[in-house]
Each structure stands twice: as C-alpha cells, then as structure tokens.
Amino acid sequence: MKTALYWEKEKDSIRCQLCPHLCLIADGKAGRCRERKNVDGTLYAMNYGVITSVGLDPIEKKPLYHFMPGSTVLSYGSRGCNLSCSFCQNYRISMEPNPPHIIMPPDEAIQKVKDENLSSIAFTYNEPTVWYEFVLETARLAKEHQIRTVCVTNGFINKEPLEELLGCMDAFNIDLKSYSDAFYRKICGGRLGPVLNAIKLIHGKAHIEITTLVVENENDDLEELEELFKWIASIDTGIALHLSRYFPSYKMTNPATKIETLIEAKRLAEKHLDNVYIGNVPGIR
Ligand code: SF4
C-alpha cells in the first residue's frame, strides 16, 4: 500500500477527491471502491503494485483501432472499481475482495515491456482510476523510456486527477455506458455527467476512442442510442465508437444482445460518426 493522492481531512474523517463519489471515509474504513482506506488519519491506496492480470494483447482488443494499429500492448490490471455495473465482464477482479495477485513495482512493470521488446503499456481489466498512484507513476516512467501509454477506463474521475494523468497518458478508451443518467445510477452505481466531462477534457489532449456495451433490454433503445451518437458527434465526428455485444455476466441474466440490434445501431451511428465498429461478434466489425 502507498499514501494516496487527492484527499483531505474533514473533521474526524477523510474526503477522497479522486472520483465523483467523493467518499467520506471514517478511520479504519475504505471508500466505495474498497481500495482507498483511512488508516489513522491517512488515506492509503491498498492496491498499489497489486497485479491480478498481465496479458499480451493486440491493441485492437483494448479496443483501439486508430492508435498504433497492428501492434501488441503489454496489459496490466489490478483490483477494484468505483462503479458496480450489474453486467461487469471482469467482476472477479473488479468486485471480489481478494483475487489472486502478485506485487510488482512500476520499474519492474516497465522492464517487462522492454524485455518483451514492446513499445506500449495498457492499464486495463479493472478500473485504472482506483489504481491511480501506480498508474501515474508507471505511466511517467514509461514516458522516460519512450513507451506509449494506454488507459481503458470508465471515465468516472474528477477533473484535477484526470488532468494530471493526461500529462503522461497517450491514449484512452472510455466506456460510455449509456446516454441515460438513470441507467448509470440504477445499473452502474454512477452518474452520466462526470463521464461526459471526462471525454470532453481528454478530447484534443490524448487519443480517445469510446466503447458502448449494448445490453439487451437495458440500454439498447435505438432512439436513446442515437442521442449518445449525436453527443459524441457534437464533440468530434472522428472519434471511433465501438458498439460491443453484451453477454450475461455477474448479476445480469438478460440474454446476449441480438446481433441485429448491433447492426441497426451501427447503421444509425454512421449517420453521425465516421468510424463505428461492432465488437464481441466474431466475423463482424
Ligand atoms: S476513488 Fe474510491 S474512495 Fe475515492 S471517491 Fe472514488 S470510490 Fe470513493
């Protein structure tokens, strides 16, 4: 564990300022993400250096289709998340308390990229925002070694920490889970507004692509999806959008999204955006 960034004392507790939940954390307790804990009046990042997953991935798997295409990226994941999506596809590391892991300091994480003869690193699998101190240090070190950096995130992060991250992150894939604040609140335990703000802040400062997981009977209303497409287009029609197929996972038992829904959504999206892709459907892009 390591002393956390972005918090202040508030009476007998600590206010975490890393993400829009702004948890007020009493002594001995942790925030909603479970990875930032008040120990005797200091906030600690409990998952610093905790690695639950390491993988060599095609960059297109992140998914990023317009950043270093055809390359392989060394991907790292930790544990914890600041959202609680019912359909989480990685719940074993994002939601369960103590998944198997190794401890690895930032310099080792970078050395492994060099040993593999690769030139990029991704923070992914769980939510990088709640792994902030490790991600920031490792990304800064990556820059010193001319290694490109990728962050695959839900975008639920406050402005100041995101600005600091932008100083050392080359590319983002942001999950824009829906254009409905009610969906964010009910299904994900979050809010829409901060995610839109994060996208606006990143645009123009780093490469950005967006992923929307289309969940059968939840966020697959085509009129609502078109609002989301229009909003992205209002920022930049060139932002690549990945419409990803949902499969039942974690607490969500709805059937897998119909492929016809994804095809129709893509057709609608292409009225507004230049680069739209279907994901999670073999043979269709
Ligand atoms: S990062 Fe974690 S502790 Fe901090 S405000 Fe967000 S959920 Fe709460």
Task: Give all domains of the chain, ordered by start, each with its CATH number.
Answer: 2-45 (no CATH), 50-279 (3.20.20.70)
**Alpha carbon distance 53, 72 (integer Å):** 16
Residue nearest to atom 2 of ligand 1 (CA): 33
CA distances from 128 to 75, 168, 211 (A): 12, 14, 16
C-beta of 168 in contact with ligand 1 (< 6 A): no
| C-alpha distances in Å from residue 217, one per residue of 184, 191, 199 | 15, 20, 26
* pLDDT mean for each 10 residues of the chain (285 residues): 97 97 98 97 98 96 97 97 95 90 97 97 97 98 98 98 98 98 97 98 98 96 97 98 96 96 98 97 85
Letter for the amino acid at 178?
S
Q: Which of 7, 13, 19 for mutating ligand 1's site (highest number of atoms within 8 Å of CB)?
A: 19
Q: Is the CB of 16 under 6 A from ligand 1?
A: yes
pLDDT at 282: 86
